[in-house]
Structure 1
Amino acid sequence: MQIFVVNSKGGSGKTTIATQLASHYAQTRHQITLVDRDVQKSASDWFQNRPKSLPNIQLIKDLNFIPINSHNNGVVIHDMPAGFVPTLECPIFANHEINKILIPIMPSPTDIKAGLRLIMAIYRSGLLEEKIKVGFVANRTRSNVRYHQTLMDFLHRVDIPLVGTLRDSQNYIRSMEHSVSIFDLPSHSVKQDLEQWQPIIDWLEH
């Protein structure tokens, strides 16, 4: 399975989503590959400091959009750069494997506008006709913030499904600081966060 974490806007939480997913699959699968395609190398920095005692993750650094075969690399998670817009012409989508695109989006005016532009680009790209599954993840949400409801209203009006909602939690900051994930922390301390991830994982698995 190939999972692409995409948003043309920077600062949406792509690396956090990609590294959390990599850690989850490392605990449940024999092989997991994290592909850092972002010039900022945040995923690589996280990987370099990850404790060796945790389940193995393979890291590939690639800025040239070279396809990665999941038959040799297990579950492949791509941390895509800001500015990237997925199209069928991009060689990384040419392998016709089970490709799924996750779009993290935050509750702010600029994120919603960027999300709308990305949706329009995906509609024009023909990706949906190729049965590539695309889903939104509402990221760093706080229900008491005004733009939370604005984001929810926006996501429920588009044809691309909202597959999960992740709260604005210090657990993500703490885990990224130590190059681990919430899946590596004591379950009793991250219970609510783990529950929020389950719908996302279910969507990816089906």
Structure 2
Amino acid sequence: MIVALLNQKGGVGKTTLALHLVGELAQGGKRVTLVDADPQGSALDWSQQRVREGLPRLFGAVGLARDTLHREAPEIARDVDHVVIDGPPRVAGLMRSALLAADLVLIPVQPSPFDGWASAEMLSLLTEARIYRPQLAARFVLNRCAARTVIARETAETLADHDPPVLNSTIGQRVVFADAAQTGRLASEIGRQSPAARKVATLTDEIARLGIGRVDP
């Protein structure tokens, strides 16, 4: 399965979510490759920081910030169980290529009405991609939220009426994610039973239960 995390709005925690998803899959015994399709290269920076810290390599990471991604990612996927793409913000050509590469698109949004409206352009690109890949699946993911707040609940209720729907699993705003970004670690390596690590595990399980795989037209 090729999973692409995409949102043209910056600051939604896309890279952190991509790294923790691929890390959770790898810790579960899956062969996984992370594709950094963001020209900023934040995911690759995290991988390099991990090397500097002397931490073991959990998964492969490659930089592919180019609009041939839809041809190259499926080739990478032949040798692994999953490919996770950390997509670019506001680069239309790269975004379209990532959409055409993916089996499942995850759209991280924060619990704010503004994030919902900012996703409109993203959804337009998704509709366009489905002309060529009608089986392309997509889900919103509530990220950086406190699940019990009113605004988080209202955002989830609003997105429940949308296509794509929102996943039940949410990821909270936790200090451990900032620590993980700085040290090249995953939240689960800092504390396996921490709320952050458990949320990532729950999200990963929900994605796996979707049973999505690549079926080319």
Report the TM range for the smaller structure's normalisation.
0.7 to 0.9
Indicate which of 59, 84, 97 corresponds to 1:57.
59
Please give the alpha-carbon distance, in whole angstroms, between the structure 2 residues aligned to 1:150 and 1:92.
Answer: 28
Alpha-carbon separation, structure 2, partners of 1:176 and 1:88:
24
* 8 A Cα contact 1:3 1:102, kept in partner: yes
**Are the aligned partners of 1:27 and 1:55 in contact in 2 as well (CA < 8 Å)?**
no
Query: 1-side partners of 2:30 and 2:170: how far apart?
Result: 27
Q: Which amino acid aligns with 1:132?
A: L
- Is the partner of 2:45 in helix, strand or coil? helix
Q: Distance in 2 between matches of 1:86 and 1:102?
A: 18
Moved more, 193-202 or 83-92: 83-92
Residues 37-48 of structure 1 mapped to structure 2, 5 A cutoff: 37-48=37-48
| Aligned with residue 75 of structure 1, among 63, 75, 82 | 82
SS of residue paired to 1:149: helix
CA distance in 2, matches of 1:88, 1:54: 31
Compared with structure 1, are the counterparts of its residues 203 and 143 closer, same or farther at alpha carbon in structure 2 (3 Å cutoff)?
A: closer
Aligned CA distance change for structure 1 residues 56 and 89 (closer, same or farther; 3 Å): closer
Of stretches 17-26 and 120-129 in structure 1, the one that deviates more from structure 2 is: 120-129
Q: What secondary structure is seen at the aligned counterpart in 1 of 2:27? A: helix
Aligned length: 201
Cα shift at 1:87:
9.8
Is 123-132 or 61-70 further displaced after alignment?
123-132
Q: Which structure shows the bigger proportion of residues in helix conformation?
A: 2
Give distance in 2, aligned partners of 1:105 and 1:88.
17
Could you tell me which amino acid in structure 2 is paired with residue 202 of structure 1?
A: D
Any idea what the Cα deviations from partners look like across 1:13-34, whole Å, max 9, x if unmatched? 1100111112112212352211
For normalisation by structure 1, the TM-score amounts to 0.84
Report the residue type matching 1:201 in the other structure.
Answer: T
Scaled by the length of structure 2, the TM-score of the pair is 0.80
Deviation string, structure 1 residues 119-145 (Cα, Å, up to 9, x no partner): 243234326962222111100112465
Deviation of 1:57 (Å):
1.7
| Corresponding position of 2:200 | 197
Q: What do residues 7-60 of structure 1 show as CA deviations (whole Å, max 9, x unaligned)?
A: 111111110011111211221235221111111111011010114433432111
User: Which secondary structure state, in structure 2, belongs to the residue aligned with residue 152 of structure 1?
Assistant: helix
Q: Deviation of residue 72 (structure 1)?
A: 2.0
Residues 84 and 157 of structure 1, relative CA distance in 2, 3 Å threshold: farther
- Percent identity for Structure 1 against Structure 2: 23
* Residue segments in structure 1 that go unaligned for 5+ positions in a row: none
Work out the CA distance in 1 between the residues paired with 2:95 and 2:112: 29
